[in-house]
Amino acid sequence: MTGDPLRDLVSLGFSEYEAKAYLALLKQSPTTGYQLSRASGVPRSMIYEALGKLVARGAAMTIRREGGNKYAAVPAAEFLDHVARDHGRLVDTLRDELRRFDAKPTLEYVWNVEGHDSVMAKAREMIGSAESRMYLALLPETFPALEADLSTAVERGVQTVVYSTRALDLPGGRVVVSPVPHQARQRLEGLWMILVVDGLQALIGELLTENQARASWTRSPLFVFVAEHHLRTDLYLPRLLARLGEETLGLIDEADRDLFATPFESRLEG
């Protein structure tokens, strides 16, 4: 995907005049302030201020010659490497400094995440932060968008279990095919993702329309426990009952059989 260098430089903290001047300098160096003003479209009254700021940023340099100064761009790769190092150090410093400002919450909140891209971004962030174990239930159509992130988690040693309605290819991870009873299939099309990471955070996503989605994310210990318990037991139950066969009916009191209606119907329909 082709970006917009002018816009991206502004996002990096350049003013529009600085960005225009730097792009023009990359094409034509060394040059005078007057020549650069004409090439970049920056007004002559502002070009030297923009150049001064570029020099201060380390994006340009002054070449002193008889008859006046000229200016040259610092090569883009060299300048961006410098920016990356500086920003990396700044982020590391801020991480340590801001940690002491973090309030310790007395309540565990449930946060709403709106929009398909936002939900997927949150899922990728959670998968990327996983350290020990991860349980994920999703529809097969959602799997390709998360496949690379899941594979990376598996490669770094995260125990990964994925539940879906049909077989998926995840080398090193465990895929559990969980059949869905006929009367529940339409409802399940809306509940398209449950993700629990390290027993610490959970994301439950719902597909509203083809282009819209919403999800709830939480670190609430109770909600996380319930979500993980559901994934580790409820979604495996249909397979367990199917293996036991009809003899399962004799193991459950008749009055309690309605509690297992969904797994039984799934087994009988499968």
Q: Where are the alpha helices (DSSP H) in the chain?
A: 5-11, 16-27, 33-40, 44-57, 76-99, 116-129, 143-155, 182-188, 221-229, 237-244, 247-251, 261-269
| pLDDT score of 99 | 79
Checking if the pLDDT of 187 tops 70, the result is: no
Q: Tell me what the pLDDT averaged over the chain comes to.
A: 82
Amino acid letter for position 255 = A
pLDDT of residue 266: 40
Nearest in space to 163 (alpha carbons), one of 146, 143, 144, 182: 143
| pTM for the structure as a whole | 0.56
| 183 pLDDT more than 50 | no
- Would you list the domain boundaries of the chain? 5-74, 110-235
Q: Over range 67-75, report the average pLDDT.
A: 87
Token pair belonging to 127: 């998968």
Q: Give pLDDT, residue 236.
A: 62
Is there a common fold for 5-74 and 110-235? no
> What percent of the chain is modeled with pLDDT above 90?
39
The three-point CA angle 244-247-253 to 5° equals 110
- Comparing 76-80, 116-120, 145-149, the range with the smallest average pLDDT is 116-120
| CATH of segment(s) 5-74 | 1.10.10.10
- Band of residue 239 on the pLDDT scale cut at 50, 70, 90: low
Mean pLDDT, rounded, for 229-235: 77
Residues 110-235: name the CATH superfamily. Answer: Endonuclease Chain A (3.30.870.10)
Write the pLDDT tens digit of every residue in 88-135. 888 888 888 887 776 665 556 788 888 888 888 899 999 999 999 999
Read off the pLDDT band of 235 (50, 70, 90).
low
pLDDT confidence tier of residue 47, bands split at 50, 70 and 90: very high
Q: How confident is the model at residue 206 (pLDDT cuts 50, 70, 90)?
A: confident
Q: Is the dihedral of CA 208, 210, 211, 216 positive or negative?
A: positive
